[in-house]
Amino acid sequence: MLGAARRQLGSGPMLGQVLRRLRPAAAAARGYSAAVKEMNVRDALNSALDEEMSADPSVFLMGEEVGEYQGAYKISKGLLDKYGPDRVLDTPITEAGFTGIGVGAAYHGLRPIVEFMTFNFSMQAIDHIINSAAKSNYMSAGQISVPIVFRGPNGAAAGVGAQHSQCYAAWYAHVPGLKVLTPYSAEDARGLLKAAIRDPDPVIFLENELLYGESFPVSAEVLDSSFCVPIGKAKIEREGKDVTITAYSKMVGYALQAAEVLSKEGISAEVINLRSIRPLDRDAINASVRKTNRLVTVEEGFPQHGIGAEICMSVVEESFEYLDAPVERIAGADVPMPYAANLERMAVPQVDDIVRAAKRACYRAVPVAATA
Protein backbone atom coordinates (compact mmCIF):
# COMPACT_ATOMS: atom_id res chain seq x y z
CA MET A 1 0.00 0.00 0.00
CA LEU A 2 1.05 3.45 -0.49
CA GLY A 3 2.86 4.22 2.62
CA ALA A 4 3.69 7.82 2.36
CA ALA A 5 2.08 9.18 5.45
CA ARG A 6 0.84 12.66 4.90
CA ARG A 7 3.28 14.28 7.20
CA GLN A 8 6.09 12.93 5.06
CA LEU A 9 4.86 13.84 1.66
CA GLY A 10 6.58 16.65 -0.03
CA SER A 11 9.04 17.05 2.75
CA GLY A 12 11.94 15.69 0.76
CA PRO A 13 13.71 18.48 -1.05
CA MET A 14 14.70 18.19 -4.66
CA LEU A 15 18.17 16.93 -5.20
CA GLY A 16 20.68 19.66 -5.29
CA GLN A 17 18.63 21.56 -2.82
CA VAL A 18 19.56 19.02 -0.24
CA LEU A 19 22.76 20.64 0.78
CA ARG A 20 21.38 24.12 0.69
CA ARG A 21 18.57 23.13 2.99
CA LEU A 22 20.84 21.83 5.66
CA ARG A 23 20.17 23.64 8.86
CA PRO A 24 22.61 24.15 11.71
CA ALA A 25 21.89 21.72 14.50
CA ALA A 26 19.99 23.32 17.33
CA ALA A 27 21.69 21.17 19.88
CA ALA A 28 24.06 18.31 19.27
CA ALA A 29 22.13 16.33 21.82
CA ARG A 30 22.86 13.01 20.23
CA GLY A 31 26.52 13.26 20.96
CA TYR A 32 27.95 13.70 17.50
CA SER A 33 31.04 15.60 18.42
CA ALA A 34 31.72 17.18 15.07
CA ALA A 35 28.06 17.79 14.26
CA VAL A 36 27.33 21.11 12.69
CA LYS A 37 24.37 20.44 10.41
CA GLU A 38 21.19 18.41 10.38
CA MET A 39 19.90 16.10 7.71
CA ASN A 40 16.88 13.83 7.67
CA VAL A 41 17.11 10.19 6.72
CA ARG A 42 15.15 10.69 3.51
CA ASP A 43 17.62 13.27 2.24
CA ALA A 44 20.51 11.14 3.39
CA LEU A 45 19.29 8.23 1.28
CA ASN A 46 18.39 10.45 -1.65
CA SER A 47 21.81 12.09 -1.71
CA ALA A 48 23.58 8.74 -1.44
CA LEU A 49 21.63 7.39 -4.43
CA ASP A 50 22.30 10.55 -6.38
CA GLU A 51 26.03 10.57 -5.71
CA GLU A 52 26.52 6.90 -6.49
CA MET A 53 24.49 7.12 -9.69
CA SER A 54 26.48 10.09 -10.77
CA ALA A 55 29.77 8.38 -9.93
CA ASP A 56 29.04 5.12 -11.73
CA PRO A 57 26.91 4.87 -14.89
CA SER A 58 26.38 1.15 -14.34
CA VAL A 59 24.29 1.94 -11.27
CA PHE A 60 20.56 2.15 -11.96
CA LEU A 61 17.39 2.20 -9.87
CA MET A 62 14.31 0.09 -10.50
CA GLY A 63 11.08 -0.49 -8.63
CA GLU A 64 7.46 0.49 -8.34
CA GLU A 65 6.75 4.21 -8.45
CA VAL A 66 10.43 5.20 -8.19
CA GLY A 67 10.21 7.49 -11.23
CA GLU A 68 7.23 9.65 -12.08
CA TYR A 69 5.74 9.33 -8.63
CA GLN A 70 9.18 10.19 -7.15
CA GLY A 71 9.05 7.14 -4.90
CA ALA A 72 6.19 5.97 -2.71
CA TYR A 73 8.10 7.54 0.17
CA LYS A 74 9.86 10.14 -1.98
CA ILE A 75 13.29 8.61 -1.50
CA SER A 76 14.02 8.81 -5.23
CA LYS A 77 12.73 12.36 -5.60
CA GLY A 78 14.34 14.18 -8.50
CA LEU A 79 16.31 11.18 -9.77
CA LEU A 80 14.13 10.57 -12.83
CA ASP A 81 14.60 14.19 -13.90
CA LYS A 82 18.30 13.97 -13.41
CA TYR A 83 19.11 10.50 -14.78
CA GLY A 84 16.21 9.81 -17.13
CA PRO A 85 13.99 6.78 -17.61
CA ASP A 86 16.85 4.52 -18.73
CA ARG A 87 18.37 4.66 -15.28
CA VAL A 88 15.30 5.22 -13.14
CA LEU A 89 12.81 2.54 -14.11
CA ASP A 90 9.19 2.38 -13.07
CA THR A 91 8.30 -1.30 -13.05
CA PRO A 92 4.93 -3.01 -13.16
CA ILE A 93 3.86 -4.66 -9.92
CA THR A 94 5.76 -7.84 -10.36
CA GLU A 95 8.34 -8.27 -7.64
CA ALA A 96 9.28 -11.80 -8.68
CA GLY A 97 9.85 -10.58 -12.22
CA PHE A 98 11.71 -7.33 -11.73
CA THR A 99 13.85 -8.65 -8.88
CA GLY A 100 14.96 -11.51 -11.07
CA ILE A 101 15.66 -9.04 -13.87
CA GLY A 102 17.73 -6.95 -11.49
CA VAL A 103 19.72 -10.00 -10.46
CA GLY A 104 20.29 -10.98 -14.07
CA ALA A 105 21.53 -7.49 -14.85
CA ALA A 106 23.95 -7.77 -11.94
CA TYR A 107 25.26 -11.08 -13.32
CA HIS A 108 25.95 -9.30 -16.56
CA GLY A 109 27.87 -6.21 -15.58
CA LEU A 110 25.45 -3.72 -14.03
CA ARG A 111 24.94 -2.55 -10.45
CA PRO A 112 21.20 -2.48 -9.89
CA ILE A 113 19.43 -0.93 -6.95
CA VAL A 114 16.06 -2.62 -6.56
CA GLU A 115 13.58 -0.69 -4.46
CA PHE A 116 10.80 -2.59 -2.75
CA MET A 117 7.93 -0.25 -2.03
CA THR A 118 8.13 -1.94 1.35
CA PHE A 119 10.17 -4.99 2.28
CA ASN A 120 6.97 -6.90 2.90
CA PHE A 121 6.62 -7.20 -0.86
CA SER A 122 10.07 -8.75 -1.14
CA MET A 123 8.36 -11.95 -0.06
CA GLN A 124 7.11 -12.28 -3.61
CA ALA A 125 10.70 -12.02 -4.79
CA ILE A 126 12.48 -14.00 -2.14
CA ASP A 127 13.33 -16.83 -4.51
CA HIS A 128 15.52 -14.52 -6.57
CA ILE A 129 17.04 -12.83 -3.55
CA ILE A 130 18.09 -16.11 -2.03
CA ASN A 131 18.50 -18.53 -4.91
CA SER A 132 19.63 -16.25 -7.71
CA ALA A 133 21.44 -13.50 -5.80
CA ALA A 134 22.83 -14.98 -2.59
CA LYS A 135 24.01 -18.35 -3.86
CA SER A 136 25.44 -17.78 -7.31
CA ASN A 137 28.87 -16.51 -6.34
CA TYR A 138 29.32 -19.76 -4.45
CA MET A 139 27.69 -22.04 -6.98
CA SER A 140 29.75 -20.56 -9.79
CA ALA A 141 32.95 -20.80 -7.76
CA GLY A 142 33.33 -17.04 -7.81
CA GLN A 143 32.75 -16.60 -11.54
CA ILE A 144 29.43 -14.81 -11.16
CA SER A 145 29.26 -12.12 -8.52
CA VAL A 146 26.05 -10.24 -7.85
CA PRO A 147 26.60 -6.58 -6.99
CA ILE A 148 23.01 -5.60 -6.23
CA VAL A 149 21.24 -3.64 -3.51
CA PHE A 150 17.71 -4.48 -2.41
CA ARG A 151 16.37 -1.57 -0.44
CA GLY A 152 13.16 -0.18 0.99
CA PRO A 153 11.30 0.40 4.23
CA ASN A 154 11.16 -2.49 6.67
CA GLY A 155 9.58 -3.18 10.01
CA ALA A 156 6.43 -2.12 11.74
CA ALA A 157 4.67 0.88 10.28
CA ALA A 158 1.61 2.35 12.01
CA GLY A 159 -1.90 0.99 11.73
CA VAL A 160 -1.36 -1.09 8.63
CA GLY A 161 -2.04 -4.52 10.04
CA ALA A 162 -0.35 -7.89 9.85
CA GLN A 163 0.75 -8.09 6.23
CA HIS A 164 2.38 -4.67 6.13
CA SER A 165 4.14 -4.61 9.48
CA GLN A 166 6.99 -6.98 9.79
CA CYS A 167 10.75 -6.96 10.25
CA TYR A 168 12.79 -8.96 7.76
CA ALA A 169 16.19 -8.58 9.41
CA ALA A 170 16.26 -12.10 10.83
CA TRP A 171 14.81 -13.62 7.66
CA TYR A 172 17.59 -12.35 5.43
CA ALA A 173 20.31 -12.53 8.08
CA HIS A 174 19.78 -16.28 8.05
CA VAL A 175 21.15 -16.61 4.54
CA PRO A 176 24.81 -17.11 3.64
CA GLY A 177 25.76 -14.87 0.74
CA LEU A 178 23.68 -11.88 1.79
CA LYS A 179 24.80 -8.80 3.67
CA VAL A 180 22.09 -7.18 5.76
CA LEU A 181 22.30 -3.53 6.78
CA THR A 182 20.01 -1.64 9.15
CA PRO A 183 20.67 2.11 9.24
CA TYR A 184 19.32 4.22 12.07
CA SER A 185 20.56 7.78 11.63
CA ALA A 186 21.19 10.00 8.62
CA GLU A 187 24.89 9.22 8.92
CA ASP A 188 24.15 5.48 8.83
CA ALA A 189 21.75 5.87 5.93
CA ARG A 190 24.20 7.82 3.79
CA GLY A 191 27.33 5.92 4.67
CA LEU A 192 25.85 2.45 4.55
CA LEU A 193 23.89 2.97 1.35
CA LYS A 194 26.97 4.24 -0.45
CA ALA A 195 28.94 1.28 0.87
CA ALA A 196 26.17 -1.10 -0.21
CA ILE A 197 26.08 0.24 -3.76
CA ARG A 198 29.86 -0.09 -4.07
CA ASP A 199 29.89 -3.57 -2.53
CA PRO A 200 30.47 -6.51 -4.87
CA ASP A 201 27.84 -8.69 -3.18
CA PRO A 202 24.06 -8.66 -2.72
CA VAL A 203 23.07 -6.33 0.09
CA ILE A 204 19.71 -6.17 1.83
CA PHE A 205 19.27 -2.59 2.96
CA LEU A 206 16.49 -2.26 5.53
CA GLU A 207 15.18 1.26 6.00
CA ASN A 208 12.39 2.35 8.31
CA GLU A 209 9.42 4.39 7.17
CA LEU A 210 8.99 6.04 10.54
CA LEU A 211 12.58 7.31 10.48
CA TYR A 212 12.50 8.89 7.01
CA GLY A 213 11.40 12.25 8.31
CA GLU A 214 13.71 12.26 11.34
CA SER A 215 16.63 14.66 11.35
CA PHE A 216 20.06 13.94 12.76
CA PRO A 217 23.17 16.02 13.18
CA VAL A 218 25.73 15.29 10.49
CA SER A 219 29.37 16.29 10.29
CA ALA A 220 31.12 17.72 7.26
CA GLU A 221 32.79 14.35 6.83
CA VAL A 222 29.42 12.63 6.50
CA LEU A 223 28.39 15.08 3.80
CA ASP A 224 31.51 14.47 1.75
CA SER A 225 30.81 12.45 -1.39
CA SER A 226 33.58 10.01 -0.48
CA PHE A 227 31.91 9.17 2.83
CA CYS A 228 31.24 5.49 3.48
CA VAL A 229 30.44 3.47 6.58
CA PRO A 230 32.17 0.09 6.68
CA ILE A 231 29.87 -2.91 6.38
CA GLY A 232 30.11 -5.21 9.39
CA LYS A 233 30.98 -2.60 12.02
CA ALA A 234 28.68 -1.61 14.84
CA LYS A 235 28.68 1.85 16.37
CA ILE A 236 28.67 2.67 20.06
CA GLU A 237 25.98 5.36 20.16
CA ARG A 238 26.35 5.96 23.87
CA GLU A 239 29.02 4.74 26.22
CA GLY A 240 28.13 3.18 29.54
CA LYS A 241 29.42 0.76 32.09
CA ASP A 242 26.53 -1.10 33.77
CA VAL A 243 24.60 -2.78 30.96
CA THR A 244 24.93 -3.20 27.20
CA ILE A 245 21.88 -2.63 25.03
CA THR A 246 22.08 -3.78 21.40
CA ALA A 247 19.59 -2.45 18.89
CA TYR A 248 19.20 -1.67 15.21
CA SER A 249 17.15 0.66 13.05
CA LYS A 250 14.34 2.47 14.86
CA MET A 251 15.02 0.56 18.07
CA VAL A 252 18.34 2.39 18.43
CA GLY A 253 16.36 5.53 19.15
CA TYR A 254 14.30 3.69 21.73
CA ALA A 255 17.42 2.25 23.33
CA LEU A 256 18.92 5.74 23.58
CA GLN A 257 15.76 7.01 25.22
CA ALA A 258 15.83 4.08 27.62
CA ALA A 259 19.47 4.83 28.43
CA GLU A 260 18.47 8.38 29.26
CA VAL A 261 15.78 7.16 31.65
CA LEU A 262 18.16 4.64 33.19
CA SER A 263 20.83 7.25 33.76
CA LYS A 264 18.42 9.18 35.96
CA GLU A 265 18.13 6.07 38.08
CA GLY A 266 21.84 5.62 38.32
CA ILE A 267 22.25 2.95 35.68
CA SER A 268 24.80 3.67 32.98
CA ALA A 269 23.78 1.89 29.78
CA GLU A 270 25.98 1.40 26.74
CA VAL A 271 23.95 1.50 23.51
CA ILE A 272 25.27 -0.37 20.49
CA ASN A 273 23.81 0.49 17.10
CA LEU A 274 24.42 -2.74 15.20
CA ARG A 275 24.26 -1.08 11.77
CA SER A 276 25.11 -4.38 10.12
CA ILE A 277 23.14 -7.50 11.01
CA ARG A 278 25.16 -9.70 8.72
CA PRO A 279 28.11 -9.65 9.03
CA LEU A 280 27.45 -9.10 12.73
CA ASP A 281 30.05 -7.16 14.70
CA ARG A 282 30.59 -9.84 17.31
CA ASP A 283 33.78 -8.18 18.51
CA ALA A 284 32.09 -4.92 19.40
CA ILE A 285 29.24 -6.70 21.18
CA ASN A 286 31.52 -8.96 23.17
CA ALA A 287 33.92 -6.17 24.08
CA SER A 288 31.03 -4.19 25.48
CA VAL A 289 29.57 -7.12 27.40
CA ARG A 290 32.97 -7.89 28.88
CA LYS A 291 32.95 -4.34 30.17
CA THR A 292 29.35 -4.10 31.45
CA ASN A 293 28.74 -7.79 32.24
CA ARG A 294 25.08 -7.43 31.32
CA LEU A 295 23.20 -7.57 28.05
CA VAL A 296 19.79 -6.54 26.78
CA THR A 297 19.03 -7.18 23.12
CA VAL A 298 16.32 -5.18 21.42
CA GLU A 299 14.62 -5.93 18.11
CA GLU A 300 11.29 -5.21 16.57
CA GLY A 301 10.93 -8.58 14.85
CA PHE A 302 9.51 -11.79 16.22
CA PRO A 303 11.45 -13.30 19.11
CA GLN A 304 11.97 -16.86 17.94
CA HIS A 305 15.18 -17.51 16.02
CA GLY A 306 15.78 -13.79 15.85
CA ILE A 307 18.65 -11.32 16.03
CA GLY A 308 18.61 -11.35 19.84
CA ALA A 309 18.98 -15.11 19.87
CA GLU A 310 22.03 -14.89 17.64
CA ILE A 311 23.64 -12.14 19.71
CA CYS A 312 22.97 -14.05 22.90
CA MET A 313 24.61 -17.13 21.43
CA SER A 314 27.63 -15.14 20.40
CA VAL A 315 28.03 -13.85 23.95
CA VAL A 316 27.49 -17.30 25.43
CA GLU A 317 30.16 -18.68 23.12
CA GLU A 318 32.71 -15.95 23.63
CA SER A 319 32.05 -14.16 26.93
CA PHE A 320 29.94 -16.47 29.06
CA GLU A 321 32.17 -16.12 32.11
CA TYR A 322 31.78 -12.33 32.01
CA LEU A 323 28.00 -12.38 32.35
CA ASP A 324 26.64 -11.33 35.74
CA ALA A 325 22.98 -11.74 34.83
CA PRO A 326 20.84 -13.67 32.35
CA VAL A 327 20.67 -12.01 28.95
CA GLU A 328 17.40 -10.14 28.42
CA ARG A 329 15.68 -10.15 25.05
CA ILE A 330 13.16 -7.52 24.04
CA ALA A 331 11.36 -8.31 20.78
CA GLY A 332 8.03 -7.90 19.08
CA ALA A 333 5.21 -10.08 20.39
CA ASP A 334 5.03 -13.55 18.90
CA VAL A 335 1.87 -12.72 16.96
CA PRO A 336 1.05 -11.25 13.55
CA MET A 337 0.72 -7.48 13.92
CA PRO A 338 -2.78 -6.58 15.09
CA TYR A 339 -4.53 -3.57 13.54
CA ALA A 340 -6.20 -2.06 16.62
CA ALA A 341 -3.95 0.71 17.93
CA ASN A 342 -3.96 -0.47 21.53
CA LEU A 343 -3.02 -4.03 20.57
CA GLU A 344 -0.44 -2.81 18.10
CA ARG A 345 1.28 -0.84 20.82
CA MET A 346 1.48 -3.97 22.94
CA ALA A 347 2.92 -5.95 20.06
CA VAL A 348 6.01 -3.81 19.49
CA PRO A 349 8.77 -2.99 21.97
CA GLN A 350 8.37 0.25 23.89
CA VAL A 351 11.00 2.31 25.70
CA ASP A 352 9.56 1.14 29.02
CA ASP A 353 10.12 -2.48 28.09
CA ILE A 354 13.79 -1.76 27.50
CA VAL A 355 14.10 0.14 30.76
CA ARG A 356 12.51 -2.70 32.70
CA ALA A 357 14.70 -5.31 31.05
CA ALA A 358 17.84 -3.32 31.82
CA LYS A 359 16.77 -3.00 35.43
CA ARG A 360 16.11 -6.70 35.67
CA ALA A 361 19.57 -7.33 34.29
CA CYS A 362 20.95 -5.02 36.96
CA TYR A 363 18.85 -6.75 39.63
CA ARG A 364 16.74 -3.72 40.36
CA ALA A 365 13.14 -4.34 41.41
CA VAL A 366 10.80 -3.92 38.47
CA PRO A 367 7.02 -3.55 38.67
CA VAL A 368 5.13 -5.78 36.23
CA ALA A 369 3.61 -4.09 33.21
CA ALA A 370 0.27 -2.82 34.33
CA THR A 371 -1.12 -1.07 31.31
CA ALA A 372 -3.72 -2.70 29.15
Partner 1 sequence: MAAASFTAAKFLAPVAARSGGERAPPLPAGASSSSFARTLRRGGAHHPRLRTALAVSSDVLAGNKAAHAAASNPAVTREEALELYEDMVLGRVFEDMCAQMYYRGKMFGFVHLYNGQEAVSTGFIKLLNQADCVVSTYRDHVHALSKGVPPRSVMAELFGKATGCCRGQGGSMHMFSAPHNLLGGFAFIGEGIPVATGAAFAAKYRHEVLKESGPDGLDVTVAFFGDGTCNNGQFFECLNMAQLWKLPIVFVVENNLWAIGMSHLRATSDPEIWKKGPAFGMPGVHVDGMDVLKVREVAKEAIERARRGEGPTLVECETYRFRGHSLADPDELRKPDEKSHYAARDSITALKKYIIEENLATESELKSIEKKIDDIVEEAVEFADASPHPPRSQLLENVFADPKGFGIGPDGKYRCEDPKFTQGTAQV
Residues of the shown chain interacting with ligand TPP in the complex, contacts defined by CB under 6 A = 1, 64, 93, 95, 117, 121, 124
Q: Find the shortest distance in angstroms from Cβ 88 to partner 1.
A: 13
Q: Which is nearer to partner 1, 65 or 187 (CB)?
A: 65
10 interacts with, out of ligand TPP, partner 1, none, CB within 5 to 8 A per kind: partner 1
Q: Which is nearer to ligand TPP, 95 or 237 (CB)?
A: 95
β-bridge pairing 276-278 and 59-63? unpaired
Based on the shown chain and the rule CB under 8 A, indicate whether residue 64 belongs to the binding site for partner 1.
yes
Question: Cis before residue 13, ω within 30 degrees of 0?
Answer: no
Q: Which is nearer to ligand TPP, 76 or 215 (CB)?
A: 76
Q: Which is nearer to partner 1, 37 or 74 (CB)?
A: 74
Q: Is 95 a catalytic residue?
A: yes
**Residue of 57, 84, 159, 200 interacting with partner 1 (CB under 8 A):** 159
Q: Is 128 a catalytic residue?
A: no
Residue ranges in 93-132 that form contacts with partner 1 under rule CB under 8 A? 93-94, 96-97, 120-121, 123-124
Q: Which of 51, 52, 95, 310 is catalytic?
A: 95
Based on the shown chain and the rule CB under 8 A, indicate whether residue 92 belongs to the binding site for partner 1.
yes
Residue ranges in 312-351 that form contacts with partner 1 under rule CB under 8 A? 333-336, 338-343, 346-347
Residue ranges that bind partner 1, judged by CB under 8 A: 1-6, 9-10, 64-65, 68-69, 72, 90, 92-94, 96-97, 120-121, 123-124, 157-164, 333-336, 338-343, 346-347, 368-369, 372
